[in-house]
């Protein structure tokens, strides 16, 4: 059974204080690992897809990396508008129709 | 504007009264899926559809039905709602999930359902 565990559950940062969110996964044949951002009362919004270990993707202050067991979402010099819940999800080759999500990390960035 | 549209956004109903939550996407996506989101349980997949007339169960299909008669629409049907189906529901779509690329999901705004 595919599993995704995200840590920490909640993270509070000062504006400009860089940090990382962790997503540990177990899946039989990783097809893709996905990061989403979810604002309160909204649907998740796609950020990145990573397909193989060693791959990295960047977007503004966010950088996602992938190993064979985990993924990190690095946030550099965050701003208050980066406050949101960040979700990680995996898809397996054995069942591309199924996405397994972690419980998310709620990030709060104080000015 | 590319979007996934769900209706209703908010609904309060009573146990046993059949209801349908509609979902429509305008991106010509082949894949569509329904999720429910509950505190402490995260997003859990209810049903998904790889293409028209093809549907499969997700992790929590009990008490729900779906149909995919057209590419753009994927309604979620609760035949006899119960209080444990009180939740926030999301519809999502994606392009080319069964091939080597893609798979990223585009979500609707959510439908908050309360069953009394």
* Per-residue pLDDT tens over the stretch A41-65: 899 999 999 999 999 999 999 999 9
Which of B27, B43, B94 would you mutate first to test chain A, the one with the most A CBs within 10 A? B43
Contact B10, B115 (CB under 8 A): no
Furthest CA-CA distance within chain A: 45
Bridge partners, residue B66, by sequence: B76
Contact A35, A104 (CB under 8 A): no
Cβ–Cβ below 8 Å for B110 and A96: no
Contacts of A2 in chain B (CB under 8 A): none
Furthest CA-CA distance within chain B: 44
Task: Report pLDDT for B71.
Answer: 94
Bridge partners, residue A88, by sequence: A35
- Residue B98, pLDDT > 70, answer no
Task: Report pLDDT for A38.
Answer: 97
């Amino acid at each position: 059974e595919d599993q995704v565990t995200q840590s920490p559950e909640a993270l509070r940062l000062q504006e400009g204080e860089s940090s990382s969110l962790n997503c540990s996964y177990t899946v039989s044949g990783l097809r893709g690992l996905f990061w989403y951002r979810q604002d309160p009362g909204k649907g998740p919004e796609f950020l990145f897809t990573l397909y193989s270990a060693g791959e990295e993707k960047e977007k503004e202050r966010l950088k996602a990396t992938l190993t064979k067991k985990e993924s990190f979402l690095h946030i550099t010099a965050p701003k208050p508008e980066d406050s949101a819940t960040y979700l990680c999800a995996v898809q397996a080759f054995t069942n591309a129709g199924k996405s397994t999500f972690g419980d998310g990390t709620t990030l709060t960035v104080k000015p | 504007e590319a979007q996934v549209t769900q209706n209703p956004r908010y609904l309060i109903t009573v146990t046993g009264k059949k209801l349908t939550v509609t979902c429509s996407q305008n991106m010509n996506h082949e894949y569509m899926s329904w999720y429910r989101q509950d505190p402490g349980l995260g997003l859990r997949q209810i049903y998904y559809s790889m293409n028209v007339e093809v549907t499969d169960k997700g992790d929590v299909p009990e008490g729900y039905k779906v149909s995919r008669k057209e590419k753009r629409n994927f309604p979620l049907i609760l035949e006899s709602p119960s209080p444990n189906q009180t939740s926030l529901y999301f519809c999502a779509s994606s392009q080319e999930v069964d091939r080597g690329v893609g798979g990223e999901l585009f979500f609707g705004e959510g439908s908050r359902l309360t069953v009394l």
